[in-house]
């Protein structure tokens, strides 16, 4: 299935918007883009050109790539085509996707350092078990030295790894493959389990409400009805509880009530400031602007939360890695010192 990165998708929308804004017809704009694109971008544009020649709208053509263009993007383009504001909407979409990329990068960059530390630790552990311990254990076995329990455990782990390397590799592949299969088949269950971890749930809620408010602002400012906007914006969240609450809000709006009434039912998972700003937006008829303010505020809050979590996690990981590596080295060195003491005593 054809996929595009966020930057490639942004490039297509930006270039189309620029050319349409310059007065270039859509078909000619697509032809011009085809001259400078390759790979999956070219496949998407070739399909778009063929669809345009058959009278198909851009939104219908892009709908052929669900892994590239989400429902929010497709419905925004569709509404713009019907209203004749495609050029303006493409520009707004650029800003929306750019903010989404920047927001996603914040989350990714916060995970890079802990991931790097754990990868280095795994590499050091593997080197100790496969290179250092076998050589030392051979010396200990020849000298028949009485080994402490930590050293015995380390040697046992080393022997297990070296004698069953193929089996362990197969086991790792099976476990990873099983985890990926479970994630695909039971995605919501896996996410719910992960999001329930201490320290994770609060951050995930902040991320969800940030993406939801940004998407809802974009949809409402494009003229889509509030019920449609709520349904589409609800698809961007990860936490099932938030998704259910948004669906409940939509049901209440259909029944003639307000969005804030639905949000108030979930006070435990909805920021209080968000409820107040939504109420103010509904009173003044500027709900879209309120959602924009909420998204900007929550974006700032998520950034601060990620910085705080990273600042706390870095020293904790370093201490854990330091104690683990130091313990292994002590388990190796302690028998050597014992042996030296025996020789010195004689």
Give the CATH number, domain containing residue 125.
1.20.81.30
Which one has a higher pLDDT value, 279 or 197? 279
> Would you state the pLDDT for residue 278?
92
**Total residue count of the chain as it appears in this document:** 346
List CB contacts of 33: < 8 A, sequence separation 6 or more. 12, 15, 16, 19, 45
State whether 62 and 106 are in the same domain. Answer: no
Final residue belonging to a domain, choices 19, 36, 69: 69
> Is residue 80 in a domain?
no
Q: What is the mean pLDDT of the chain?
A: 83
State whether 176 and 295 are in the same domain. Answer: yes
CA atoms within 13 A on the CB side of 328: 20
Residues 59, 222 contacting (CB under 8 angstroms)? no
pLDDT digits (tens, 9 = 90+) for 312-330: 888 888 888 888 888 888 8
> Would you state the pLDDT for residue 344?
52
Read off the pTM: 0.74
> Is residue 322 in a domain?
yes
State whether 183 and 158 are in the same domain. Answer: yes
State whether 257 and 119 are in the same domain. Answer: yes
Q: How far is CA 218 from CA 71, 147, 221, 223, 231, in A?
A: 12, 67, 5, 9, 13
pLDDT over 70 (residue 194): no
Residues 95, 242 contacting (CB under 8 angstroms)? no
Proportion of the chain above pLDDT 90, given as a percent: 8
Proportion of the chain above pLDDT 70, given as a percent: 92
> Is residue 76 in a domain?
no
- Report the number of distinct structural domains present in the chain: 2
State whether 158 and 100 are in the same domain. Answer: yes
> Is residue 110 in a domain?
yes
State whether 176 and 90 are in the same domain. Answer: yes
> Is residue 194 in a domain?
yes
Q: Of 113-117, 187-191, 229-233, 321-325, which gets the smallest average pLDDT?
A: 187-191
The residue range of the domain holding 211 is: 86-346
């Amino acid at each position: 299935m054809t996929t595009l990165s966020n930057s490639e998708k942004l490039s297509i929308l930006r270039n189309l918007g620029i050319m349409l804004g310059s007065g270039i017809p859509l078909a000619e704009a697509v032809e011009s883009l085809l001259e400078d694109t390759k790979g999956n971008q070219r496949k998407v544009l070739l399909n778009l050109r063929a669809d345009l020649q058959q009278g198909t709208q851009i939104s219908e053509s892009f709908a052929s790539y669900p892994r590239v263009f989400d429902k929010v993007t497709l419905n925004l383009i569709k509404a713009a085509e019907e209203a004749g504001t495609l050029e303006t909407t493409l520009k707004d979409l650029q800003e929306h996707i750019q903010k989404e990329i920047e927001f996603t990068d914040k989350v990714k960059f916060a995970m890079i350092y802990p991931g790097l530390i754990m990868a280095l630790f795994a590499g050091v552990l593997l080197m100790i078990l496969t290179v250092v311990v076998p050589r030392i254990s051979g010396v200990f076995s020849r000298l028949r030295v009485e080994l402490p329990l930590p050293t015995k455990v380390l040697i046992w782990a080393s022997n297990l790894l070296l004698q069953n390397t193929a089996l362990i590799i197969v086991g790792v592949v099976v476990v990873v493959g099983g985890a990926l299969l479970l994630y695909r088949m039971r995605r919501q269950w896996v996410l719910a389990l992960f999001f329930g971890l201490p320290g994770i749930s609060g951050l995930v809620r902040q991320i969800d409400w940030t993406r939801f408010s940004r998407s809802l602002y974009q949809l409402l400012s494009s003229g889509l009805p509030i019920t449609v906007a709520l349904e589409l914006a609800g698809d961007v969240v990860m936490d099932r509880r938030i998704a259910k609450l948004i669906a409940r809000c939509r049901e209440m709006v259909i029944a003639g009530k307000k969005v804030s009434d639905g949000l108030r039912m979930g006070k435990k998972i909805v920021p209080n400031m968000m409820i107040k700003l939504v109420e103010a937006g509904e009173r003044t008829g500027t709900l879209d602007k309120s959602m924009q303010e909420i998204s900007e505020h929550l974006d700032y809050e998520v950034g601060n939360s990620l910085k705080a979590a990273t600042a706390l996690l870095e020293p904790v990981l370093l201490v854990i890695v330091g104690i683990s590596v130091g313990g292994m080295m002590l388990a190796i060195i302690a028998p050597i010192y014992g042996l030296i003491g025996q020789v010195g005593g004689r």
